[in-house]
Chain A
Amino acid sequence: MANPPLKRVLVEEGADRFPSVSRILKRIEGIPVERVSDWEKGKASGPLSMDKTSLRLISFPGEFLKPCPGTKGYICCGYQILNVGTNCPFDCSYCILQAYFNQPSLRIFVNLEEKLHQIAEVLDRHPDRIFRIGTGEFTDSLALDPIAGWSHVLIPFISERNNAVLELKTKTNQVEGLFSFPQRNRIVISWSLNSPSIASREEHGAPGIRKRLEAAKMCQQEGYSVGFHFDPLVHIPGWEEEYKRTLEMMDKLIDPNGIVWLSMGGLRYMPALKSIIRKRHPKSRILLGEFVPGLDGKMRYFKPIRIQMYGFMAEMLRKWHEDLGLYLCMESHDVWEKKSWVVPKEF
C-alpha cells in the first residue's frame, strides 16, 4: 500500500518542538500543513466522519506503555500496549475506533522518542519478566510507518533489551522498510487475517489476504519471526470454506516453523458500535450473527458458535502444524476448556 491519501496535516499546539515533526513533514512534502491551537479546529466534518484524510501530529501527554486492560470475565494474554498513535488509513467495518468520534483523523504521537526513557524504566524495573509489547492496538503498526517512522525508533530500542518482545501488528503488505534494520531478535511482525471474503467486504482499503501472506513470507525470508491473528473470526454462511481458503494460502506461502504465535478471537463489539456500523457500513454483513451480551457487556457470538469456530480453526491449524503457539483472545475459561486447551494461569 502506498502512503494514505492525505489532504492536510494538522500540527497541534506544542507538537512543533519535537524533532520528529520536521522529519514527518519532510516525508509528506507538498501536503498543506495547518497549525491548530485548540481542540475544535480541524475536528471531523460530520458525526460519522473519521476524517482519515487528515493527519494530526500530537504531543501525547499520557503514558505510552500500558497493560492491555483485558475485559471482565475473560482471559487476557497479558499484552502491553505501546500507544504510538490512533486510527489507521483502513476502514474496517468492525473497528472499535469508530466509536470514538471525538478522536478523528490519523494521529501520530510525535513525542515517542522523548518518552522512550519512561518505557525503558518500566522494562528495567522488571528484568525477570518478559514484556510482550505491541503497537497495533489503536492503530495499524505499519500502515503509517513510512510517515511516522515508528519502526526506526522502536526496533533498535527493543532489540537492546532482553526482556521485551515487540510485535508490529498490521494488515499492510508494505514491509520492505523493515528489511534495512540489522536487528531481528525479539521483533515479531504479525498480520491480522480473516477469510478472503471478509477481507474484501469488511476491511475496506486493506490489502487482500494473499498480499498480506506474501508480505509475511518476505519477512520470514528476511529472518523475522511472524505471528497471525484470526481476529475477528466472523460467522457468515459458508464460513468454514472461506477460512479454509486462507489456511490453504498460508500453507502455500508460510513456513509454520517460523510462526511464534497465532491467536483467534470471535467478533465482539460494544453495543454502541452497532448503529455506527449500520450507518457507516450499510452493506456490512458482520452484525447478522447471533450476538448476545457477554460478561463484559460487549456483544459476542452465542457461545456454541464461538466454540464451533475455534474448534474448526484449531483442528485445521493443528493439522498443518502442531506447534503454532495457538491461543484465544479474550475468551472465557470454559471456552478454553471445551476444546481441551490448557487454560493459562498466567501468560
Chain B
Amino acid sequence: MKDLSSAPERLVELTEISDQPGPYCMSFRFDLEPLKRSINKFGLIHRPLVIENGKYKKEAIIGFRRVLALKSLKWDRAPMKVLSGDELSPSDLLLLNLYDNLSSRSFNDVEKGMILNRLKPHFSGEEIRKEYMPLLGLPSNESTRILYEKLEELDLALRTSCADGDLPLKTIKALLEMDPDSRATLFQWIKDLKLNFNQQMLFVENTIDISNREATSILQVLQEKPLLNIREDQNSNNPQKAKRSLSYLRRRRFPLLTRSEETFKKTISSLGLPERVKISHPPFFENPDYRLEILFRDGKMLGETVKKLSQLNDLEGIGDPWEEEA
C-alpha cells in the first residue's frame, strides 16, 4: 500500500467535504463535544485525510468526526491530507480507515456491524471471518457475522440503544427475528419499563412463547388489557411495573408452574411457622428436597423454635403442590 506520510497537505474548504457518512465511515453514536473542546484549545492536531471524488465533493477517509467538529465550530477551511480518487483502491481506503480507528479507539456493536457490511463487497466471507472479525474482538463464525451485519438494518432508536449498550445482543438477536412492528412495540415496552438485561430477555422470550403457543401475534399479546393496565398504572413506579408485567407474562407462559408455586406458598403460610423460620421449595421443584431455614441467636432460641416447629399440626401437608391439587 502507498506510504501516506508524504501525502500532500492542503487547506481545504470544509463546504467541499460531504457531511454524510460515506462508504468508508465506521462511526455511529459519537459525541463531538470533547473533540470540539480539544480543537478549541489546541487546534487541529491530527489532519483528516480526504479524497477528491471527481464528480461530487471530497470524501473524508480518516477524520470524519473531526470534519464534523470543525463544521460545527464554524471553521471555513482546515489543513488536510488530500489524495486523488485513483491513488488507492476502495478496499485500501476502507482498511486505511479501519486500522487508523483501531489504533485509537474501540468500536461499539453497531459500528462493528457497519465495518463488516463495508468489508463485504471487497473481501470473501472467509477472509472477513478469519482476518477482520478477530480484529474487532468478535468470534470468527458465520452466525456472529450475520447478526452484526443486520444491526445496521435496525431503526435509529434501536441502533442507538444497541450502541449505548442498553440492549444486549441476546435481546437484539431475538428482536431481529421479528417483524418490524412487533420489534418496535417490544422495544417500546423495554424502554418504558426500563427493563434490565435479564428482565429484557424474560420479557421477550415469554412474549414470543405465548404468541407462538396461542397462535396469536406478539402485538396482540402486548395489547392484552391486564398488561396495558400495569403499564398505565399511575400508582406504581417503573420497577414495580416491570416486576408485575414479568409476573403476568410468566403466569401466562407457565400456568402449571406458577399455580404450583402459589399453592405451595399458600400451604406454607397457612402453617403458622414460628418467627425466623422459612420453608422454601427448590427452583422449579426439580430437585425433590425442600428447604427449612431457621435463624437463631443461641441454642436456647434454636431449641424453642424447634419445639414450636414440632408442635405444628399440618407439617405433613407440605409436599409437591401438584399432588395436593390432583
Chain A interface (Cβ within 8 Å of chain B)?
40, 46-48, 73, 101, 275, 278-279, 287-288, 290, 292-295, 300, 302-305, 332-334
Contacts and interface: CB of A to CB of B under 8 A. Distances in A.
Given A275-B173, A288-B209, A304-B322, A294 B254 contact: no
With a 10 A CB-CB cut-off, give which of B146, B173, B255, B322 has the most chain A CB atoms.
Answer: B322
Contact of A302 (B177, B212, B254, B287): B254
A294 B209 CA distance: 19
Given A47-B142, A288-B209, A288-B213, A334 B288 contact: yes
Nearest to B282: A295
A287 B209 contact: yes
A302 B285 contact: yes
A136 B254 CA distance: 33
B176 to A, nearest CB: 11
Contact of B284 (A47, A73, A302): A302
Contacts of B254: 290, 292, 302
B27 to A, nearest CB: 28
B199 interface: no
Interface in B209-239: 209, 212-213
Contacts of B212: 287-288
A332 B285 CA distance: 12
B161 interface: no
Interface string B288-309: 1000000000000000000000
A73 B289 CA distance: 13
A85 to B, nearest CB: 24
A46 B286 contact: no
Contact of A332 (B260, B283, B288, B320): B288
A333 B288 contact: yes
B256 A304 contact: yes
Which A-B residue pairs are the 8 nearest by beta carbons? A292-B284, A304-B322, A334-B288, A47-B143, A288-B213, A47-B142, A302-B257, A290-B254
Given A287-B212, A290-B254, A290-B256, A304 B287 contact: no
Contacts of B213: 288
Given A47-B146, A293-B284, A305-B256, 4 more contacts: A275-B173, A294-B286, A303-B286, A332-B288
A269 to B, nearest CB: 14
Contacts of A292: 254, 257, 284, 286
A303 B284 CA distance: 8
B247 interface: no
A49 B131 CA distance: 23
B260 A304 contact: yes
Given A304-B256, A304-B260, A293 B209 contact: no
B155 interface: no
A290 B255 contact: yes
B283 A293 contact: yes
B196 interface: no
B126 interface: yes
Contacts of A101: 143
B141 interface: yes
Interface string B171-182: 001100100000
A290 B257 contact: yes
A252 to B, nearest CB: 33
Nearest to A293: B284
A304 B320 contact: yes
Contacts of B142: 46-47
Nearest to B322: A304
A47 B143 CA distance: 5
A165 to B, nearest CB: 32
A316 B141 CA distance: 48
Contact of A295 (B141, B287, B320, B322): B287
B146 A302 contact: no
A231 to B, nearest CB: 19
B213 to A, nearest CB: 4
A302 B288 contact: no
A65 B212 CA distance: 41
Contacts of B209: 287-288
B143 A295 contact: no
With a 10 A CB-CB cut-off, give which of B141, B253, B287 has the most chain A CB atoms.
Answer: B287
A131 B224 CA distance: 56
Contacts of B322: 303-304
A225 B32 CA distance: 77
B177 A278 contact: yes
A303 B256 CA distance: 10
Contacts of B260: 302, 304
B249 to A, nearest CB: 14
